[in-house]
Structure 1
Amino acid sequence: MAEIAHEDKSKMYRVGLRTAVWLCVCALVLLSVFGRVCLAEALPDISQLHQRFDTANNHYQNKQFKEALAEYRRLIDAGIRDPVLFYNAGNAYVQLGQNGRAVAMYERALRWAPRDQGARRNLAHVRPTGASPAPFVLWRPFLFLRDLLSLNEWLVVFDVLLVWIALAWSLLFLLRGSAIRSLARRCLVGGIVLAVAVVGFLPWRWYEEHGRRVGVIVEDEAVSRHGPSMTLGEHLRLAEGTRVRILGEEGNGWICIRPLDVPRASRERSYVRQETVEEI
């Protein structure tokens, strides 16, 4: 009986270690994929990009805002996704009096760097007054946590928690002391609880960044209509800088939208000309 018990315990150790190894492998694979995605978004000629960015900043410092914006736009059109670039481009738009396009740039900056207080402060300055209705008070802590980290940062947190769970699992099976095993068990339970919470925020953050199309009104006042035609009745007059959800293109120069920064009663499906909206 003693030998059988010993064999069962050895088998349990092997299963525990195998599980811990698989958790570590999963975490390393996720980190590898995350790193490859980040590297794929970078362009090869880094020195040339830095030179262009410095040139744009020099134009801005010399109050040559059109020239600075042209350089920033070239970098953005080349596929650069950097919060500092979006922030600087937004500042250039503000100097040129194009507040709607500035809102779009600040929103892009906050997608990549949600804790950027400069972008958040400038966005509040150029966004239309009363544009964003206050959310329900019990909903605010969840919104705060969702916007605390970007999607990439949430993924890194999840990877770290996977490693934490794997280490706690390994210690639980390898160590013999009751006090240490109790500590390892608590770390394991805590890691699992936190990982489950992070898994709840991951799809929500993904939806905010990639799951829906959001744009900004970039004209002084855009008229939304009940259908894709100038002959149809007006629905709303949307101020420059108002965010809208893009539902689809009509193919004749019109897009279907749902206004976001308006009272809930006015958030109905309507249509605007495509050139009046810049997608974030």
Structure 2
Amino acid sequence: MRVQPLILKAILAAICMVLFAPAPVLGVQTTGSAIAVETTTTAPTVATAPSAEGATDQAAFDAGNAAYRQQDFPAAAGWYQALIEEGLVSPHLFYNRGNTAAQLGSTGEAVLNYSRAFNWIPRDADLRANFARVLPPGEHEAPPDFFGAPGRWVRFFTLGEWWTLFAICYAAAGVCVAAWLWVRRGGARGIAIWRRAAWITVAMALIVAIPAGVRRYQAHSISHVVVLEKRASVFSGPGDEFPQVGYAVEGSRLPRLQFEADPAWTRVVLPDGLRGFMRTADGAVLRGDALK
């Protein structure tokens, strides 16, 4: 019996199980199928947002779903937003909040919440279809960063998925190396098989470790600002008295740079590479896999 092919098949099967298994959901989940979004050109009047206080998270979420099905989008947005402000983390909550924002014509809020959901369920077909409708021209579901196209590809797998793949490859490499050392006295054929398996699995672990490290850096060290205004001016310095170097349209996600001197201003990078300052109130921070 050839041991090496069986080992490689087992590793590939484990990797496929990780990649195609449903993403774990934190917090509440939707009941029933996802509700498709058709963006509207006019925004209805936004009613006063209801409060989730006094109701369980699931009850509040169900109330938002019921309001959405009745096309009462302002009420649904209020229920979902109340849960988000309480600190609840759920990709389905972010997805539904993005749906209501899209229905109300709030492109920036839709992009913000779809981006949050994308961190958890990046390969969800409904999310990607709805996301594409509200993104500014030329943008992808994955926010831009200095990793470029490879960085966007890495974001189509969650941080947990990358580390699970690395753990599988690392464990397989450890087993193969241990077996290789164990059978060194068992003859040339046995040694060759396990040595080859050890080299293959070690190489796989190293290859997977690179995108896993990139994804971790994206999650914890890179943040963006989602523009919420129709047009946000960007200045060369933190103040209106500085020359304007450009502007960003609603829904744009601009890489955010470190700047703490004046909380009223945020330092960002425009798509053409220019760096400047925009008013903090004109956008919302999207930080890696975090809620805020």
Number of residue pairs the alignment of both structures matches: 228
CA distance 1:70–1:249, change in 2 (3 Å): farther
The answer to whether structure 1 residue 191 and structure 2 residue 240 are counterparts is no
Provide the rounded CA distance (Å) in 1 between the counterparts of 2:96 and 2:27: 19
Partner secondary structure for residue 232 of structure 1: coil
Q: Please give the secondary structure, in 1, of the residue aligned with 2:56.
A: helix
TM-score (norm 1): 0.72
- Contact 2:233/2:247 (CA < 8 Å) preserved in 1? yes
Could you state the TM-score of these two structures normalised by the residue count of structure 2? 0.70
SS in 2 for 1:278: strand
> 2:152, 2:245 → 1: CA distance?
32
How far did 1:217 drift? 0.5
* Number of the residue aligned with 1:68: 76
Kept after mapping to 2: 8 A contact 1:165/1:188 = yes
Is 1:270 aligned to residue 276 of structure 2? yes
Give 1:81's aligned residue: 89
Residue 209 (structure 1) aligned with residue 219 (structure 2): yes
Runs of 4+ in 1 over 3 A off after TM superposition: 142-145, 173-183
By how many angstroms is 1:242 displaced? 1.0
Q: Alpha-carbon deviations, 1:6-41, whole Å to 9, x = none?
A: xxxxxxxxxxxxxxxxxxxxxxxxxxxxxxxx99x7
Q: Which residue is 2:267 aligned to?
A: 256
User: Which residue is 1:243 aligned to?
Assistant: 253
Identify the residue that residue 219 of structure 1 maps to in structure 2. Answer: 229
> Is residue 206 of structure 2 the alignment partner of residue 200 of structure 1?
no
2:120 to 101, 112, 115: 112
CA distance in 2, matches of 1:237, 1:101: 18
SS of corresponding position for 1:114: coil
Whole-Å separation in 1 of the counterparts to 2:190 and 2:152 = 36
2:151–2:214 CA contact under 8 A, matched in 1: no
Percent identity at matched positions? 27
Distance (whole Å) between structure 2 residues aligned to residue 49 and residue 252 of structure 1? 32
Gaps of 5+ in 2: 1-23, 29-54, 287-292
Unpaired stretches in structure 1, ≥5 consecutive residues: 1-37
Deviation (angstroms), 1:186: 2.5
Q: Which moved more, 1:57-66 or 1:73-82?
A: 73-82
Deviation of residue 203 (structure 1)?
A: 2.2
1:71 to partner: Cα distance:
1.9
CA RMSD of aligned residues (A): 2.7
- Preserved CA contact (<8 Å) 2:263 2:280: no
1:164 counterpart = 2:175:
no
Seen in structure 2, the aligned counterparts of structure 1 residues 54 and 179 have a Cα distance that, compared at 3 Å, is farther
Contact kept? 1:226, 1:234, Cα under 8 Å: yes
C-alpha contact (below 8 Å) 2:235/2:243 kept by paired residues: yes
Q: Aligned ranges for residues 121-136 of structure 1 at < 5 Å?
A: 121-131=129-139
> Quick one: distance in 1 between partners of 2:107 and 2:261?
26
Decide whether the 8 Å contact of 1:228 with 1:250 is kept in 2. no
Letter aligned with residue 257 of structure 1: V
For residues 173-208 of structure 1, the C-alpha deviation after alignment (integer angstroms, 9 at most, x for no partner) is 445365454333222211110111122112211222
Greater Cα radius of gyration, structure 1 or 2: 1
